[in-house]
Chains A and B, each alone.
Chain A
Amino acid sequence: MIVRVQSMSSLFNEVFGIDRVLDEMQSHPLAAAASNSGYPYINVAELKDEIQIVAEVPGVPKESIKLQFHDGVLTISCERKAPKSEKATWLRNEIVYGSFSRSIELPDRVNADNVNAEYSNGVLRITLPKSEEAKPREISIR
């Protein structure tokens, strides 16, 4: 029988905070729209041994993504460059361009020294292993 010593997910929900930080100094005319876009979209899931964060960053090459972990907060920053369009007339514009950043506060129970990030088709997957004490463990019944 596996007994969870402490429910990681309820703890995580309490301390988990999403913060959107947007560089207000952006000069791009679409910056105002960008501030409401929620870009990049993120999804967070808890697995047995790790936390996985999936960020959708369409239109952003790998080289334009920055990941920073500091004081228990993971920050994803990226820049989505607007297409060159000197001779173009915009007929529709639903995609937002500019600099974006989202910060995710992680619980202490994540091993920050072992973060892994993979990029494919505009999707960034960040894997954060749980620290040893956060993993479910078996308790023998005497």
Chain B
Amino acid sequence: MFFKKEMKETDAGTVQTALPAVDIQELPTSYVLRLDMPGVEKEAIKAHVNERVLTVSGTAPAHFKPNVTLLYDDSVATEYHREFTLADNVDIQSVDAIYEFGVLTVTLRKKQQYLPKEISVQ
């Protein structure tokens, strides 16, 4: 499946970290990343760029209280984390992120010198 899950023991109990599914599109002047992170509150999402690595993470509250009888479960992930190495043409000063309907959309603009240019024919 699209989620790689790994079990991780923490003081608070068992936490599952998932690699959120991602779509990446290249547009003429930007790159757009969409990450599925359902259940996370907007305030709990972190996105930052450090040394040309974009890191996106967020923690969702557990679907159910502990000690509830689970009859069926597809997804028990509560933590999302994924990293992307950015190409040289990305302007890391202008990163935009919007969270809506459980999807984080990150827009990375290309540096001016990498943008397509019109060349007038004389």
Chain A positions within 8 Å of B, measured between CB atoms, are 9, 12-13, 16, 18, 37-38, 41-47, 51-52, 54, 56-61, 83, 85, 87-95, 120-123, 125
Contacts and interface: CB of A to CB of B under 8 A. Distances in A.
Given A41-B75, A95-B21, A121-B39, A59 B2 contact: no
B74 A122 contact: no
B28 A87 contact: yes
Given A43-B76, A83-B34, A122-B103, A93 B69 contact: no
B22 A94 contact: yes
Interface residues of B, number: 36
Interface of B: 1-2, 21-28, 31-32, 34, 36-42, 60, 63-64, 68-76, 99, 101-103
B23 A46 contact: no
Nearest to B40: A121
Contacts of A57: 38, 101-102
